[in-house]
C-alpha cells in the first residue's frame, strides 16, 4: 500500500494515548522512515506533508548499504529489490567525452551490502508498502515549546488545527519552513556552487548497471540507472545554463570530441523534456539540530550536494538512529527490543519524562551529527573538483583519474560504512544512566 491520505483529526486521535506523541513534518525519505519505524513499535506518529496528493515528484537516487538496517526492520527488502537496480560499475569519462576508466562498485562495497539505484517515488512506495497514514496539503505555521509538551498549529487550506505533542521531528527538506519556527531559530550556513542543471529521464539501454559521469570544463553530465530507465543530470555554471537547455546542450556538444550513443541519448533527453526540473546546486547545514523537544532530520538538518551520492542514505540512516533512540524511551523497551505499546495507553503521568526525552535528543545529535557532516564535507570536496570551468583543471582531473580509482575517491564514505552507528548501544547506555 502507498501513502494513505488521512485526516489530521484522525491521526491526532490515534496518537493521543501514546506514551510518546510524535509529530513528523515531511513525508520524504527521512520523515517517512522515522514514522514507519515508530509505527513498528506500536506508536502512532502524526505524519504531515505540504504536497497536495500522493504523487511522488522526484528523481533518481543511489543508495549506499547504510540503508540496509532500516529496510530490514521495515520488512521492505523484497519491495526494495523489486523496485531498484544494482549499480555494479562506475565509468569516468575525460572532459572531451572519451571513456577513461570503468571501476567495479561491487568490489568496493560488497562487504557492506548492495549499492542500488531507485527512483525517489519508488523508494517512497517501498517505505510505505505496509501503508503509511499522512495528512497532505498540511503545513506547520506555529510551534511553541513548553515544559510539558509542544503546541503546534497546522494549516490545511483555510483551516487551522492545534496539536499537542511531546516531540516534533522536522524533516521537510533543505528549504524547510518549519525549521524557522523552532525555538531560537535555525538559520543555516551552506555552500553555493554557483552551478545548477536539469534532471530528466532517458530510455533504458543495454548498460543497465553502469553509472557514469563526465566532468567537463564548464559542464557536468551524469547518467544513473534506475529500473527500466536512466536518470540524467546535465549542469553547468548558472550564467551558462540560464540560456536554457537547448542552448546549453549545444554548448556541451561543441566541447566534446567523443559522443557515443549513450551520451547522445542523454543530451537529447534534456532537450526533449518539455518542462525539465532545474536543480540549483547548493547545500545547507543547520548550526544545531535539537532542542529539548524538537529535532531537525535529513535535509532540514544537513542538505547535501549530490556529488557523493550519499545524501538520501545518510538521511535514512539518521532516521533509523533517531527512531531507535526514541523507541528506547518507551515503557516496553528492553535491551533495544521494542514490543507493541498499543495496549499500554498511559495517562499524562506515565508519558516519557521531559528530561529523558531532552537527554535522548541531545545524545542523538552528539552521536549522529559528526557522521552526517563528514559525509557532507566529502560531497563539498568532490564539488570543488567536479564543478569547474577551467580547461587546465579538467586536464589535470583526467590525468589524476588515470591512476585514482573510485575506491580512493569515496574512501571517506567507505570509512563511514565500515564503522556504522550503533543506536541500540547508545540507547542501552542512556537507559543505564536513567536507572541510576
Mean pLDDT over the full length of the chain: 92
b/e map 398-413, b = 16+ CB within 10 Å: beebeeebbeebbebb
**Over the stretch 131-169, which tens digit does the pLDDT of each residue have?**
999 999 999 999 999 999 999 999 999 999 999 999 999
pLDDT of 342 reads: 43
pLDDT higher than 80, residue 399: yes
pLDDT higher than 60, residue 434: no
Helix (H), strand (E), coil (C) string for 214-252? EECCCCEEEEEEECCEEEEEEEEEHHHHCCCHHHHHHHH
CATH architecture of 3-87+109-190+283-435: 3-Layer(bba) Sandwich (3.50)
3-state helix, strand, coil in the chain (%, to 5): 40, 25, 35
Listed by start position, the domains of the chain span: 3-87+109-190+283-435, 192-282
pLDDT higher than 70, residue 1: no
Answer whether 3-87+109-190+283-435 and 192-282 agree in fold.
no
At residue 405 the predicted structure's pLDDT band, cuts being 50, 70 and 90, is confident
pLDDT higher than 70, residue 196: yes
Whether residue 9 contacts residue 161, with contact meaning beta carbons closer than 8 Å, is answered with yes
Q: What average pLDDT score do residues 197-205 get?
A: 96
Work out whether strand 284-285 and strand 302-303 pair parallel, antiparallel, or are unpaired: antiparallel
At residue 402 the predicted structure's pLDDT band, cuts being 50, 70 and 90, is confident
Task: Looking at 58-185, list the stretches that DSSP marks H as alpha helix, in order from N- to C-terminal side.
Answer: 68-73, 77-83, 105-109, 120-127
pLDDT higher than 60, residue 284: yes
Query: Which residue carries 528530561 as its cell?
Result: 355
pLDDT of 334 reads: 41
How buried is residue 187: exposed, middle or buried, by Cβ count under 10 Å (0-12/13-18/19+)? exposed
**Over the stretch 245-275, which tens digit does the pLDDT of each residue have?**
999 999 999 999 999 999 999 999 999 999 9
Closest CA to 19 of 364, 325, 342: 342
**Over the stretch 6-38, which tens digit does the pLDDT of each residue have?**
999 999 999 999 999 999 999 999 999 999 999
**Over the stretch 314-323, which tens digit does the pLDDT of each residue have?**
999 999 999 9
pLDDT of 426 reads: 67
**How far is Cα 121 from Cα 118, in angstroms, rounded to an integer?**
8
Percent of the chain predicted with pLDDT > 90: 83
Task: Looking at 128-181, list the stretches that DSSP marks H as alpha helix, in order from N- to C-terminal side.
Answer: none
Closest CA to 234 of 211, 215, 258: 215
CATH architecture of 192-282: 2-Layer Sandwich (3.30)
pLDDT of 411 reads: 87
**Over the stretch 34-69, which tens digit does the pLDDT of each residue have?**
999 999 999 999 999 999 876 666 799 999 999 999
Percent of the chain predicted with pLDDT > 70: 92
pLDDT of 56 reads: 63
**Over the stretch 327-356, which tens digit does the pLDDT of each residue have?**
999 986 443 444 444 444 445 557 899 999
Quote the cell numbers at residue 69: 538496517
Q: What average pLDDT score do residues 398-422 get?
A: 88
At residue 185 the predicted structure's pLDDT band, cuts being 50, 70 and 90, is confident
What DSSP line would sit under 69-104, residue for residue? HHHHHTT-HHHHHHH-EE--EEEEE-TTS-EEEEEE
Amino acid at each position: 500500500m502507498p501513502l494513505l491520505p488521512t485526516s489530521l483529526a484522525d491521526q491526532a486521535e490515534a496518537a493521543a494515548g501514546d506514551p510518546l506523541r510524535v509529530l513528523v513534518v515531511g513525508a520524504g525519505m527521512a520523515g517517512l522512515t522515522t514514522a514507519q519505524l515508530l509505527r513498528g513499535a506500536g506508536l502512532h506518529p502524526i505524519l504531515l506533508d505540504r504536497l497536495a496528493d500522493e504523487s511522488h515528484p522526484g528523481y533518481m537516487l543511489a543508495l549506499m548499504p547504510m540503508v540496509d538496517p532500516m529496510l530490514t526492520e521495515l520488512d521492505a527488502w523484497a519491495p526494495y529489490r523489486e523496485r531498484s537496480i544494482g549499480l555494479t560499475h562506475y565509468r569516468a569519462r575525460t572532459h572531451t567525452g572519451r571513456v577513461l576508466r570503468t571501476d567495479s562498485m561491487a568490489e568496493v562495497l560488497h562487504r557492506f551490502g548492495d549499492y542500488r539505484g531507485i527512483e525517489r517515488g519508488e523508494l517512497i512506495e517501498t517505505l510505505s508498502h505496509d501503508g503509511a497514514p499522512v495528512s497532505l496539503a498540511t503545513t506547520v505555521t506555529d510551534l511553541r515549546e513548553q515544559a510539558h509538551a509542544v503546541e503546534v498549529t497546522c494549516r490545511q487550506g483555510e483551516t487551522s488545527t492545534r496539536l499537542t505533542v511531546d516531540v516534533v521531528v522536522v524533516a521537510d527538506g533543505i528549504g524547510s519552513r518549519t525549521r524557522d519556527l523552532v525555538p531560537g531559530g535555525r538559520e543555516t550556513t551552506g555552500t553555493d556552487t554557483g552551478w545548477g542543471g536539469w534532471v530528466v529521464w532517458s530510455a533504458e539501454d543495454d548498460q543497465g548497471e553502469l553509472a557514469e559521469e563526465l566532468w567537463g570544463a564548464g559542464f557536468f553530465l551524469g547518467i544513473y540507472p534506475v529500473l527500466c530507465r536512466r536518470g540524467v543530470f546535465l549542469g553547468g555554471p548558472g550564467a551558462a545554463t540560464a540560456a536554457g537547455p537547448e542552448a546549453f546542450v549545444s554548448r556541451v556538444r561543441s566541447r566534446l570530441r567523443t559522443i557515443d550513443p549513450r551520451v547522445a541519448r542523454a543530451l537529447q533527453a534534456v532537450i526533449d523534456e518539455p518542462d525539465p526540473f532545474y536543480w540549483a546546486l547548493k547545500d545547507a547545514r543547520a548550526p544545531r539540530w535539537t532542542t529539548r523537544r524538537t529535532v531537525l532530520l535529513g535535509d532540514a538538518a544537513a542538505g547535501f550536494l549530490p556529488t557523493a551520492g550519499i545524501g538520501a542514505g545518510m538521511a535514512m540512516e539518521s532516521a533509523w538512529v533517531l527512531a531507535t533512540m526514541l523507541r528506547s524511551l518507551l515503557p516496553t523497551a528492553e535491551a533495544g527490543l521494542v514490543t507493541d505499546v498499543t495496549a499500554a495507553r498511559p495517562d499524562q503521568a506515565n508519558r516519557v519524562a521531559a528530561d529523558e526525552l531532552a537527554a535522548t535528543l541531545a545524545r542523538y545529535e552528539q552521536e549522529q551529527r559528526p557522521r552526517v557532516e563528514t559525509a557532507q564535507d566529502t560531497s563539498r570536496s568532490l564539488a570543488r573538483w567536479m564543478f569547474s570551468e577551467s580547461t587546465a583543471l579538467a586536464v589535470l582531473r583526467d590525468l589524476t583519474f588515470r591512476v585514482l580509482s573510485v575506491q580512493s575517491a569515496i574512501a571517506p564514505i567507505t570509512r563511514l560504512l565500515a564503522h556504522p552507528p550503533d543506536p541500540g548501544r547508545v540507547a542501552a547506555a542512556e537507559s543505564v544512566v536513567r536507572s541510576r
